[in-house]
Chain A
């Protein structure tokens, strides 16, 4: 019990809760026990070190906040932080940032390349994020996706660039149409919410509308095709197979199309091969088919916040195949024997 008492007193001392009597008691106990004294010295040293973490840029975030509060443009100078334990670190960071900003300004000074001033958000496989645009519009960016947008919207329209999948909730601004540039088309809206899916490794661009209406303009590469625009209403989607330049609209469940924003994975009559792409994106593990038979298996199912292991377990209960999850890969095979070694 003596050991626990020392730990208890140590906790009180480190947190600043110890009374003078307790401090005295601790001191006595530690001088009787050299090992405990040594250990506590290490512990105190650890306690006094501060995790400097990896803060994202304070100034960049402050700018975002001021923009969404319509206070931008009048940013005041940086204050010296009050009594901070890590004030030197912050000062160093501030200097570094000032240098970096100066370097950036210098590099881009005078140039008017519209792409030069774009911010980029790139989600790796297995990560998703939410982005608030300077006009207040919100974007849920799926895994393995990239978006580029200006720091602030200037000019007649609000223009952004997307690769991958994102759900948009666009703030209405009739005088400033919102334009999303895709590799194989363009989406124009005034103020609605909708999902856009345009992964580089998929031959189809899909835009599914949750509320309001959107205009989709496919990019035709062949000269004989005349440029056209289709309007898509709520609970409908436009699917554009750009490899064949075929465009059509159909009814859809917009709720299901945006289910990924809530951590759900829905497979509706999808082959294992298609599911593999989805799993790779969501869990960041490479899917390897040891033999090709399971690729053609078709599944329907919905998962919510399940682990890869759980999903594979359920899938393997409905169809006969085996799988193995390693640190970097998901191996799938028709026979379990192929996976051992």
Chain B
């Protein structure tokens, strides 16, 4: 887990006690992570931002209930997932043009076999492979790689079995292995 359990429990207690500062600290710790997670579902920056903010607003409004939450970190991810799914069922726009703010690195000359493959390019291809994974597989992969969650925690967040988490991660790694093989060994 990425965040120190003790520190998180302490924040949880302080927020329950009404500390605005602790709430702000919690917000800053989780905003980016929850945003990256929500966007896997809703694909839109503005929407993901809004959903994460809604989650955090609820945390503050219901701070009386915080004491009863066993693991705040997974709780927040579960809440972000529920909000995202709610959003999708209530309001599913066409999202045809997914705006990407970081479109750099996509101009790659694949027709230049004489040139040694650069790491950047492999990195790009691997990320592309991740983007092409089925939704659940990609989400599992990101929660483990980017968020450092364990199988059990991912299972809880996504409401699937730990066994499924393992299978999905296996699929993702296998796909990456193929991409690497193609890039380096089958030119």
Contact B28 A58 (CB under 8 A): yes
A21 within 8 A of B: no
By DSSP majority rule, is chain B's interface helix, strand, loop, or mixed? helix
A228 within 8 A of B: no
Pick the contact of B28: A43, A53, A71, A81 (CB < 8 A).
Answer: A81
Contact B49 A82 (CB under 8 A): no
Pick the contact of B151: A15, A66, A124 (CB < 8 A).
Answer: A15
Contact B151 A262 (CB under 8 A): no
Pick the contact of B20: A47, A53, A76, A283 (CB < 8 A).
Answer: A76
Instruction: Please indicate the chain B residues that have their CB under 8 angstroms from the CB of A284 in the complex.
Output: 96-97
Mask: chain B, 42-56; 1 = CB below 8 Å from A; 0 = not: 001111011011001
Pick the contact of B91: A43, A58, A69, A262 (CB < 8 A).
Answer: A262
Contact B47 A46 (CB under 8 A): no
Query: Which of chain A's residues 292-313 have a Cβ closer than 8 Å to chain B?
Result: 305, 307-308
Q: A65-B27, A68-B57, A85-B2 known; A127 and B97 CB under 8 Å?
A: yes
**Most B CB within 10 A of own CB, among A11, A50, A69, A84:** A11
CA distance A212 to B177 in the complex (A): 60
Q: A69-B57, A83-B2, A129-B46 known; A7 and B24 CB under 8 Å?
A: no
Query: Which of chain A's residues 114-154 have a Cβ closer than 8 Å to chain B?
Result: 121, 124-132
Contact B173 A283 (CB under 8 A): no
Contact A61 B94 (CB under 8 A): no
Contact B31 A58 (CB under 8 A): yes
Chain-A contact segment, one of B64-72, B77-85, B106-114, B121-129: B121-129
A282 within 8 A of B: yes
Contact A261 B91 (CB under 8 A): yes
Pick the contact of A47: B3, B27, B145, B185 (CB < 8 A).
Answer: B145
CA distance A4 to B35 in the complex (A): 33
Contact A17 B56 (CB under 8 A): no
Contact B94 A282 (CB under 8 A): yes
Q: How far is the CB of B176 from chain A (nearest CB, A)?
A: 6
Contact A76 B21 (CB under 8 A): yes
Q: How far is the CB of A178 from chain B (nearest CB, A)?
A: 20
Pick the contact of A79: B25, B56, B122 (CB < 8 A).
Answer: B25
A51 within 8 A of B: yes
Query: Which of chain B's residues 134-161 have a Cβ closer than 8 Å to chain A?
Result: 144-146, 148, 150-151
A341 within 8 A of B: no
Pick the contact of A42: B27, B122, B150, B173 (CB < 8 A).
Answer: B122
Contact B49 A75 (CB under 8 A): no
B174 within 8 A of A: yes
Interface residues of B, Cβ cutoff 8 Å to A:
2-4, 7, 20-21, 24-25, 27-29, 31-32, 35-36, 44-47, 49-50, 52-53, 56-57, 60-61, 90-97, 99-102, 119, 122-123, 126-127, 144-146, 148, 150-151, 166, 169-170, 172-174, 176-177, 180-181, 184-185
Interface residues of A, Cβ cutoff 8 Å to B:
4, 7-8, 10-12, 14-17, 35, 38-39, 42-43, 45-47, 49-51, 53-56, 58, 61-62, 64-66, 68-69, 71, 74-76, 78-79, 81-85, 90, 121, 124-132, 261-263, 282-284, 305, 307-308
Besides A53-B102, A85-B148, A305-B94, 19 new A-B residue pairs in contact (Cβ under 8 A), listed by A number: A11-B169, A12-B166, A17-B151, A17-B166, A35-B185, A38-B185, A54-B45, A65-B57, A69-B60, A79-B24, A79-B25, A81-B29, A82-B4, A83-B3, A121-B46, A127-B97, A263-B91, A284-B97, A305-B92
Residue contacts A-B, CB under 8 angstroms, 19 given = A7-B174, A11-B173, A14-B173, A38-B185, A43-B176, A46-B126, A53-B32, A53-B102, A54-B45, A58-B31, A69-B57, A76-B21, A82-B7, A83-B4, A84-B2, A90-B32, A130-B50, A131-B50, A263-B93
